[in-house]
Amino acid sequence: MEINYPGGTRANHNNLKSKPTRFNTNYGDRGMGLESELNASNQYYLAHDIAVIHKKPTPVQIVRVNYPKRAAAVIKEAYFNKASTTDYNGVYRGHYIDFDAKETKNATAFPLSNFHQHQIEHMRKCIQQGGICFAIIKFVKTNDIFLFKATDLFQFWDAQKKGGRKSIPKLTIQELGYSINYQLQPLIPYLEAVDQLID
């Protein structure tokens, strides 16, 4: 399948191929990536009337479809018709929640290149309206997960534009962020960290 970005720029096909990935977790090597773990956690929160938080769909415009069989359509060409914002949003304890999920294989720092300018600007706008914004960052090699406030992220983002670091040291994320430990249900109990932001 061929996917193109807005303006007709062709996407790198190799990066779009679905490749199975496995990440070790504290619960039996489930083989789930961060988004899958968060989706499962959000399903738990929804089922138990704790929060309503969903993964945002990726905005794609389908251009060409083949119909080899009546019930089996195959997308042959599609475009990202606009830049996506963050990964998740919803409502918790009467507050609008908006956040992005990021993974890194870097053991000592989180590269800021994992974010895009439009995502940062989106979070700034949400915070201006009273929303709660953050990033959930997973260091894959150690399975360390942190909630990192958007306002702290902005400081590093803005500093890099003025010649500062292009990454956030893991030690800084540990100091400023909120550590999240795996548990049985929900798998990633990130709303416990959000409680600290609210309170």
Q: Is 195 annotated as a binding residue?
A: no
Q: Is 87 annotated as a binding residue?
A: yes
Q: Is 85 annotated as a binding residue?
A: yes
Exposure letters 54-93 (e unless 16+ CB within 10 A, then b): eeeeeeeeeeeeeeeeeeeeeeeebbbeeebbbbbbbebe
Q: Is 152 annotated as a binding residue?
A: no
Residues 145, 174 contacting (CB under 8 angstroms): no
Binding-site positions: 85, 87, 100, 119
Binding-site positions for Mg(2+): 85, 87, 100, 119
